[in-house]
């Protein structure tokens, strides 16, 4: 009997976050062919604002399926701050029943947030500051891999819970008083009994549920957080986040088999930005072009207001991310911002660092990244177009778009070997050009 499986559509960032992933996820989450939305990595360090016709939503941890009334899952690969879940749920007073959290997901506890700040202070002295979101992400994953973390489902395993809490409080004895106080067993157990009462209904096994839905022909959107170059293993270590953010982690981070991840879309900004520390290739923050992109693109951190550092689009890195994630398509964002320059550059080669052009890597050593001299191509831009002009062009169709823009898109596609499916021309949801319709491939059954 041939069975028609649903599609697993994964959205991941390609650069250092802030590529505009939120908008691309919204685009797909709102489609009628998406039945379920799930997060698979990170925690409340992600963030996007969704503006619908009626409301504005700010999400850090909840999957964007909540906005569109779709069953929404937080996978086991995430670290979950239940207090923040409660806060974010106030935006959805009638939709709490849509949210489900993996029983295997690790909990973010109060001491994780204190430790996040403490670690950053120590790193600052050595110019190793990561510029974290201070949401306790690294320390929560630390407790997870040290095997004294508390999983959501452990709240209902009294014996193990008591032993783990005891271990935690002994382990952190030598730490600053604030940390010691935060891991007091009585304090933690009090928190846990409160959470047990509020969140029991959300307990689930994401692996079983999502596999079942896929086997019933339902399409699942896997909403990535952070980005490929921030990935714990494959990004710029130690200036990265503490989870795996690549496509493969949508499988390990929810418990579904990898072959279910049939559509793999990488989000690429038309230039590069980065918050926090760490080297970036081809940084241009200190020249007028960089300042223009920073100002016009609103490249300032959402929580701290810190200016994001800017560099040119790095196609070597994009090709690396394409290989690593097995990307099937690209969503290219913020091309309207690039139009504010007369001409711009694109990195096509690294001088001083050998890379196999067919199987590109990204330098693992910070000293190599700092040493690289980027080889760039200079391209003419398409100029500043009003929202109205972009709308008109969209109505007329892709052939009517400026030739400079079409050449830029073709150059990227030729370089990385996969199609650009979506092009972002402005901040709002409608300012997106769909070049290839994913929907047409959705009805094709998986092998």
- Cα–Cα distance, 181 to 177 (Å, whole number): 6
How many C-beta atoms surround the C-beta of residue 120 within 10 A?
A: 18
- Cα–Cα distance, 419 to 435 (Å, whole number): 9
> Which of 20, 75, 276, 360 is the binder for ligand IMP (CB under 6 A)?
276
Select 304 or 441, whichever has its Cβ closest to ligand IMP: 304
Select 256 or 313, whichever has its Cβ closest to ligand IMP: 313
State the minimum distance, in angstroms, from the CB of residue 308 to ligand IMP. Answer: 9
> Which of 7, 11, 15, 18 is the binder for ligand IMP (CB under 6 A)?
18
- Cα–Cα distance, 273 to 294 (Å, whole number): 8
Looking only at the bridges linking them, the beta strands covering 56-59 and 48-51 are antiparallel
Q: Taking CB under 6 A as the rule, does residue 46 contact ligand IMP?
A: yes
> Which of 6, 8, 17, 426 is the binder for ligand IMP (CB under 6 A)?
17
**Subset of residues 192 to 211 that bind ligand IMP, contact rule: CB under 6 A:** none
**Subset of residues 289 to 308 that bind ligand IMP, contact rule: CB under 6 A:** none
Q: Taking CB under 6 A as the rule, does residue 138 contact ligand IMP?
A: yes
- Cα–Cα distance, 26 to 48 (Å, whole number): 10
Q: What is the size of the binding site for ligand IMP (CB under 6 A)?
A: 19
SS3 content of the chain, % helix, strand, coil (to 5): 40, 20, 40
Q: Is 227 helix (H, G, I), strand (E, B) or coil?
A: strand
134 backbone φψ class: left, alpha, beta (φ>0; ψ -120 to 50): left
**Subset of residues 216 to 245 that bind ligand IMP, contact rule: CB under 6 A:** 225-226, 230, 241-242
List 18, 26, 81, 314, catalytic entry: 18
Q: Taking CB under 6 A as the rule, does residue 272 contact ligand IMP?
A: no
At residue 367, φ and ψ (nearest 5 deg) are -65, -35
157 flagged as catalytic: no
DSSP class of residue 349 equals: E
Q: Kindly list the distances between the CA atom of residue 404 and the CA atoms of 251, 315, 342, 408, 424, in Å, as whole numbers in the listed order.
A: 39, 18, 11, 6, 16
State the minimum distance, in angstroms, from the CB of residue 338 to ligand IMP. Answer: 20
> Which of 47, 149, 266, 290 is the binder for ligand IMP (CB under 6 A)?
47
**Subset of residues 74 to 133 that bind ligand IMP, contact rule: CB under 6 A:** 130-133
List 48, 100, 112, 234, catalytic entry: 48
User: CA angle at residue 47 from 238 to 121, to 5 degrees?
Assistant: 40
State the minimum distance, in angstroms, from the CB of residue 245 to ligand IMP. Answer: 9
State the minimum distance, in angstroms, from the CB of residue 438 to ligand IMP. Answer: 24
Select 239 or 312, whichever has its Cβ closest to ligand IMP: 239
Burial letters 208-237, b for 16+ CB under 10 A, else e:
ebbbebbeeebbbbbbbbbbbbbbbebbbe
Sign of CA dihedral 291, 292, 298, 299: negative
**Subset of residues 147 to 166 that bind ligand IMP, contact rule: CB under 6 A:** none
Select 100 or 135, whichever has its Cβ closest to ligand IMP: 135
340 flagged as catalytic: no
Q: Which residues bind ligand IMP (CB under 6 A)?
A: 17-18, 45-47, 130-133, 135, 137-138, 225-226, 230, 241-242, 275-276
Known catalytic residues are 18, 48
């Amino acid at each position: 009997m041939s069975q028609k499986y649903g599609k697993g559509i994964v959205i991941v960032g390609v650069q250092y976050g802030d590529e505009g992933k939120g908008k691309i996820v919204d685009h797909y989450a709102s489609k009628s062919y998406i039945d379920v939305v799930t997060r698979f990595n990170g925690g409340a360090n992600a963030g996007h604002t969704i503006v619908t016709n009626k409301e504005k939503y700010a999400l850090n941890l909840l999957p964007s399926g909540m906005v569109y009334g779709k069953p929404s899952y937080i996978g086991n690969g995430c670290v979950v701050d239940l207090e923040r879940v409660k806060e974010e749920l106030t935006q959805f007073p009638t939709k709490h029943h849509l949210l489900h959290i993996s029983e295997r997901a690790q909990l973010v506890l109060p001491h994780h947030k204190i430790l996040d700040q403490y670690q950053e202070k120590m790193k600052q002295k050595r110019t190793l500051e990561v510029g974290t979101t201070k949401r306790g992400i690294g320390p929560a994953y630390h407790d997870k891999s040290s095997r004294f973390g508390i999983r959501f489902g452990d709240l209902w395993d009294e014996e193990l819970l008591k032993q783990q809490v005891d271990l935690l409080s002994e382990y952190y004895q030598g730490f600053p008083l604030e940390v010691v106080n935060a891991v007091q067993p009585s304090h933690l157990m009090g928190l846990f009994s409160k959470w047990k009462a509020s969140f029991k209904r959300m307990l689930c096994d994401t692996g079983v549920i999502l596999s079942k839905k896929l086997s019933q022909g339902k399409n699942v959107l896997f909403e990535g957080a952070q980005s490929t170059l921030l990935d714990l293993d494959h990004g710029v270590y130690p200036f990265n986040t503490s989870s795996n953010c690549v496509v493969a982690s949508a499988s390990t981070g929810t418990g579904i088999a990898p072959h279910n991840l049939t559509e793999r879309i990488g989000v690429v900004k038309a230039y590069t930005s980065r918050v926090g520390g760490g080297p970036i290739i081809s940084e241009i923050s200190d020249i007028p072009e960089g300042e223009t992109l920073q100002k016009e693109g609103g490249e300032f951190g959402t929580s701290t207001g810190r200016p994001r550092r800017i560099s040119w689009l790095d196609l070597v890195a994009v090709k690396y991310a394409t290989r690593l994630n097995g990307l099937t398509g690209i969503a290219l964002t913020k091309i309207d911002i690039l139009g504010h320059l007369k001409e711009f550059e694109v990195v096509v080669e690294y001088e001083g660092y050998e890379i196999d052009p067919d199987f590109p890597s990204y330098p693992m050593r910070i000293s190599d990244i700092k040493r690289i001299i980027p080889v760039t191509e200079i391209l003419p831009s398409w100029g500043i177009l009003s929202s109205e002009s972009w709308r008109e062009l969209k109505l007329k169709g892709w052939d009517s778009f400026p030739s400079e823009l079409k050449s830029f898109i073709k150059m990227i596609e030729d370089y990385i070997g996969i199609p650009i499916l979506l092009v972002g021309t402005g901040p709002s949801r409608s300012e997106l050009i769909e070049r290839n319709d994913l929907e047409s491939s959705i009805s094709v059954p998986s092998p």
